[in-house]
A and B are shown apart, each in its own frame.
Chain A
């Protein structure tokens, strides 16, 4: 298994609170991605990173921010959580020059 760890694995939070999800890799891969998975939508890209401090928006970036201060860590922050952000969040990594993308185990976030 690719060395990807997402934390926390489960979280329940209240509307309006800030939330940070962490993706940690031990593979030293250049590219890291955050996706959300909702029924009927497959996975949708939130943000991605192509290097330390290099990030860009994906398809559904509104309400989310990211940071990558080290190669191994990619953080996803919900500044003020809303019920529409209840979802399963997956982190993925890919090595430069490699076609394969590997996914973490996911974080189930519930905003009440």
Chain B
């Protein structure tokens, strides 16, 4: 079974530029999560989808971050414009069950973003 795929793996941009990350979850997984992980910290949940609906985006900085999962499969996370403090690893995860802490999540390798 293929795992969660993310691209690109690395991205370097200058502040005020835009960037987009792509995630392809495990086939059949209804729930998809995006996390931000700053160096030395645990993953911070940004947004979670169940199919193509948003379940929780309370920690997404909506003035600059956006995410979509149009057909309930792939998802993109965008930052526009980027700030220095957005430098982090962006992790995508999926789960075959609903978006609750109990349910096992399968993580992708992440995209490491550096904002200069």
A-B interaction: no
